[in-house]
């Protein structure tokens, strides 16, 4: 019977996302301004691109320059995105307006939906969709 190996370090499982973009330094600036994100970690590359780990409230995400050689494509290269981000906030109207002021485009304005959410959607300048909303049943 094989001996079991024990370590005192506990590994916690975390799920986050990586957004691939063109013009990653500009994207980082946009996410800081549009969503009030803060930079947890930032790695600057010699070519001016960045890889950054950001947090917004209780969530986090990464931003990186697209890398077609690794099959990491931005929505601009794909002609659209295969996913969208969801920001759950206390005041969707304010964050929606802040994102628009920072350069996002309105896809659908913030409104109360019949399924119990106040939600709107913006398209960021790098091709990613963001829903900004609030569950109204949690008042």
Q: What are the start-end ranges of the H helices in the chain?
A: 24-35, 75-78, 92-102
Stretch 31-41: mean pLDDT: 97
pLDDT at 7: 59
Residues 6+ apart with CB under 8 A from 72: 18, 20, 64, 66
Strands 50-56 and 38-44: antiparallel
Of residues 9 and 41, more confidence is placed in 41
Quickly state the pLDDT bin for 6 (edges 50, 70, 90): low
Quickly state the pLDDT bin for 14 (edges 50, 70, 90): confident
Q: Which residue has the tokens 């930079």?
A: 39
Stretch 95-119: mean pLDDT: 97
Q: Which residue has the tokens 């659209």?
A: 80
Q: What are the sequence ranges of the domains in the chain?
A: 18-138
The structure's pTM equals 0.86
pLDDT at 5: 58
List pLDDT tens digits, range 59-104: 999 999 999 999 999 999 999 998 999 999 999 999 999 999 999 9
Q: Which homologous superfamily does the CATH classification assign to the domain defined by 18-138?
A: 2,3-Dihydroxybiphenyl 1,2-Dioxygenase, domain 1 (3.10.180.10)
CA distance 25 to 76: 16
pLDDT at 2: 54
Strands 129-135 and 84-88: parallel
């Amino acid at each position: 019977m094989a001996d079991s190996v024990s370590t005192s370090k506990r590994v916690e499982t975390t799920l986050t996302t990586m957004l691939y973009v063109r013009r990653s330094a500009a994207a980082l600036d946009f996410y800081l301004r549009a969503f009030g994100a803060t930079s947890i970690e930032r790695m600057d590359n010699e070519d001016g691109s960045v890889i950054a780990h950001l947090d917004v409230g209780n969530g986090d995400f990464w931003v990186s320059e697209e890398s077609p050689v690794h099959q990491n494509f931005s929505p601009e290269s794909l002609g659209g995105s295969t996913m969208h981000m969801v920001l759950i906030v206390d005041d969707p109207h304010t964050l929606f307006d802040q994102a628009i002021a920072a350069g996002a485009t309105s896809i659908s304005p913030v409104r109360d939906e019949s399924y119990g959410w106040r939600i709107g959607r913006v398209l960021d300048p790098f091709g990613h969709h963001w829903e900004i909303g609030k569950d109204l049943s949690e008042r």
